[in-house]
Chain A
Amino acid sequence: MKNYAKVSSHIFLVIIVLTSSWTYRLFANASILTTAAILSLAYLIFSLLSKEKKHLSYLAILVNISLLLLTLSGNVDLNIFTTSRVEQDVLIRRFDNYAKDYGKLYMNRYGILYHYKLEPIIYKLEANLFENMDINGYFFASHPRERGTNNEFEKFSAFFLPFFVIGFFATLIYQRKAFIFFVVNLLLSTLYYSNYVLGSVLLYAYFVVFITYGFKICLRKARLLSKNH
Chain B
Amino acid sequence: MFKKSTLIIKKPLVVLIAILLLASVLRVYKVSSLPLGLNIDEVSQGYNAYSLLLTGRDRYGKLFPILFKSYESFQPPLYTYLTVFPMFLFGKTNFSVRFVSITSQLVVVCLTFLIMEKVFSKRKMLSLLSAFVVSISPWSIFFSRYATEASLGLVLILGSIYFLITTERKKLRIITAFLLLGLSTHAYYTEKVVSFLLLFGYTVIDWKLIRDNKKTFIVGFFLFAVLLSPHLYMINKGAFFRRFDQVTYLDSSSFDKFGGKYQGDMFGRFVYIAREFASQYVAYYSPKNLFFIPDSQQGRSVPNLSVFYSWMFVPFLAGIAFLIKEKISKNQKLLLWTMFVSVIPAALSRDAFYTIRTLLFLWFVSLLIGIGIGYFYEKFNRKRTGCLILLIITMLSLFDLHRKYFVMFGYERASAFGGFDKVIADYIKNDEKEVLVDLSERDLATGLRMVYYLDFEPKKFQDEIGYKYLDNYYTGYDVETQYNLGNVQVRPIIWEEDVYKRQLIVGDSISISDSQVLEHKLQLLYEFNFFDGGRSIRVFTTNPLSKCEAGPEMNKDDDKCFHYLE
Contacts and interface: CB of A to CB of B under 8 A. Distances in A.
Interface of A: 89-90, 93-94, 96-98, 101-102, 123, 126-127, 130-131, 133-137, 139-140, 143-145, 158, 161, 169, 172-173
Interface in B298-335: 304, 310, 313, 317, 320-321, 324-325
B287 A143 contact: no
A96 B531 contact: yes
Contacts of A94: 408
B383 interface: no
A130 B283 CA distance: 13
15 contacts: A93-B533, A97-B407, A101-B406, A102-B407, A134-B288, A134-B289, A140-B278, A140-B282, A144-B276, A144-B280, A145-B283, A145-B293, A145-B353, A158-B279, A173-B321
B275 interface: yes
Contacts of B287: 130, 133-135
Given A126-B310, A144-B279, A144-B283, A93 B531 contact: yes
Sorted nearest first, the 5 A-B pairs with minimum C-beta distance are: A144-B352, A130-B292, A140-B279, A134-B288, A130-B288
A172 B323 CA distance: 13
Contacts of A89: 533
B286 interface: yes
Nearest to B310: A126
Contact of A173 (B283, B286, B291, B325): B325
Given A98-B403, A101-B407, 10 more contacts: A93-B531, A130-B287, A130-B292, A135-B286, A136-B282, A136-B283, A140-B279, A144-B352, A145-B289, A173-B325
Contacts of B313: 133
Looking at A131, A136, A140, A161, which has the most chain B CB atoms within 10 Å of its CB? A136
B474 interface: no
Contacts of B92: none
A136 B304 contact: no
Nearest to A173: B321
A172 B288 contact: no
B536 to A, nearest CB: 14
Contact of B286 (A98, A123, A136): A136
Interface residues of B, number: 34
A15 B15 CA distance: 54
Contacts of B560: none
B533 A97 contact: no
A97 B352 contact: no
A125 to B, nearest CB: 11
Contacts of A133: 286-288, 313
Nearest to B306: A130
Interface string B244-285: 000000000000000000000000000000011011101101
B128 to A, nearest CB: 26
Given A101-B407, A173-B325, A126 B292 contact: yes
Nearest to A170: B324
A52 to B, nearest CB: 20
A172 B283 CA distance: 21
A226 B531 CA distance: 66
Contacts of A135: 282, 285-287
B163 interface: no
A172 B287 CA distance: 16
A139 B325 contact: no
Contacts of A123: 304
Contacts of B533: 89-90, 93
B538 interface: no
Nearest to B325: A173
B418 to A, nearest CB: 20
B408 A145 contact: no
A172 B322 CA distance: 11
B320 A134 contact: no
A158 B289 CA distance: 19
B178 interface: no
A144 B289 CA distance: 11
B242 interface: no
A219 B350 CA distance: 35
A207 to B, nearest CB: 15
A136 B293 CA distance: 13
Contacts of A134: 286-289
Nearest to A172: B321
B411 interface: yes
B324 A97 contact: no
B419 to A, nearest CB: 14
B161 to A, nearest CB: 25
A139 B279 CA distance: 8
A106 to B, nearest CB: 9
Contacts of B304: 123
A97 B321 contact: no
A95 B166 CA distance: 51
Contacts of A127: 292
B288 A131 contact: yes
B279 A169 contact: no
Looking at B279, B283, B310, which has the most chain A CB atoms within 10 Å of its CB? B279
A98 B288 contact: no
A143 B279 contact: yes
A98 B407 contact: yes
Contacts of B278: 140, 158, 161
A177 B325 CA distance: 18
A130 B291 contact: yes
A21 to B, nearest CB: 14
B313 to A, nearest CB: 8
A169 B324 contact: yes
Contacts of A140: 275, 278-279, 282
Contacts of A136: 279, 282-283, 286, 288
Contacts of B296: 145
Contacts of A169: 320-321, 324
Interface in B119-136: none
A8 to B, nearest CB: 24
A93 B530 CA distance: 11
A27 B102 CA distance: 56
B566 to A, nearest CB: 51
A182 to B, nearest CB: 12
Interface string B404-425: 0011100100000000000000
